[in-house]
Amino acid sequence: MEFFQTQVVDPLSYILNTHVLIYLLIGAGLYFTVRTRFIQVRYFGRMLRQVRKSHRQDGGISSFQAFCVGLASRVGTGNIAGVAIALTVGGPGAIFWMWVVAAVGMATAVIEATLAQIFKVRSGDGAFRGGPAFYIQRGLRSRVGGVMFAVLLVFAFSTAFNMVETNAISGVLKSSHGVDTRWTTVGLVVLAAPILFGGVRRVARFAELVVPAVAVAYALLALTIVAVNVTQLPTVIQEIVGGAFGIRQMAGGFAGGIATAMLTGVKRGLFACEAGMGSSPNIAGAATVSHPVEQGLIQSLAVFVDTMVICTATAFIVLMSGPSVYDPAHTGSIAGASLTESAIAAGLGSWTTALMTAVVFVFAFASVLSNYVVAEANLFFLGGRHVAINALKVVTLVAIVFGAMSTLTLVWALADLAMAMMAIVHLVALCLLGKWAFAALRDFHQQAARGERPVFIASRAGLPGQLDGDIWAAPEPRPVGALPESLRLSRPAPRRLRLSRAPAA
Q: Which amino acid is at 242?
A: G
Q: What's the pLDDT score for residue 42?
A: 94
Yes or no: say if 273 and 312 are a contact pair by the CB < 8 Å rule: no
Yes or no: say if 291 and 456 are a contact pair by the CB < 8 Å rule: yes
475-499 per-position pLDDT tens digit: 766 555 554 444 444 444 445 444 4
DSSP state of 128: E
Total-model pTM: 0.79
Q: What is the rounded CA–CA span in Å between residue 18 and residue 24?
A: 10
The stretch 134-160 carries a mean pLDDT of 90
pLDDT class of 146 with cuts at 50, 70, 90: very high
Is residue 290 scored above 80 in pLDDT? yes
Q: What's the pLDDT score for residue 411?
A: 66
List, in sequence order, the alpha helices (H) in 325-385.
337-348, 352-381
Is residue 440 scored above 90 in pLDDT? yes
Q: Report the mean per-residue pLDDT for the chain.
A: 80
To the nearest whole percent, how much of the chain has pLDDT over 90?
23
Q: Which is more confidently placed, 256 or 337?
A: 337
Yes or no: say if 204 and 282 are a contact pair by the CB < 8 Å rule: no
- What are the two backbone dihedrals, phi and then psi, of residue 452, each rounded to the nearest 5 degrees? -95, 160
The stretch 181-201 carries a mean pLDDT of 84
pLDDT class of 76 with cuts at 50, 70, 90: low
Task: For 396-425, give one letter per residue: b (16+ CB within 10 A) or e.
Answer: bbebbbbbbebebbbbbbbbbbbbbbbbbb
Is residue 373 scored above 70 in pLDDT? yes
pLDDT class of 434 with cuts at 50, 70, 90: very high
Torsion of CA 13, 15, 21, 24, to 10 degrees: -170
Q: What is the rounded CA–CA span in Å between residue 149 and residue 134?
A: 10
The C-alpha angle with vertex 432 and arms to 426 and 438, in degrees rounded to 5, equals 105
22-69 per-position pLDDT tens digit: 888 889 999 999 999 999 999 999 998 887 766 555 555 677 777 776
Is residue 127 scored above 90 in pLDDT? no
DSSP state of 126: S
Q: What's the pLDDT score for residue 445?
A: 95
**Which H/E stretch holds residue 129?**
strand 128-129
Is residue 143 scored above 50 in pLDDT? yes
pLDDT class of 191 with cuts at 50, 70, 90: confident
Task: For 276-314, give one letter per residue: b (16+ CB within 10 A) or e.
Answer: bbbbbbbbbbbbbbebbbbbbbbbbbbbbbbbbbbbbbb
Q: What's the pLDDT score for residue 368?
A: 84
Q: What's the pLDDT score for residue 497?
A: 45
Q: What's the pLDDT score for residue 310?
A: 82
Q: Which is more confidently placed, 3 or 359?
A: 359
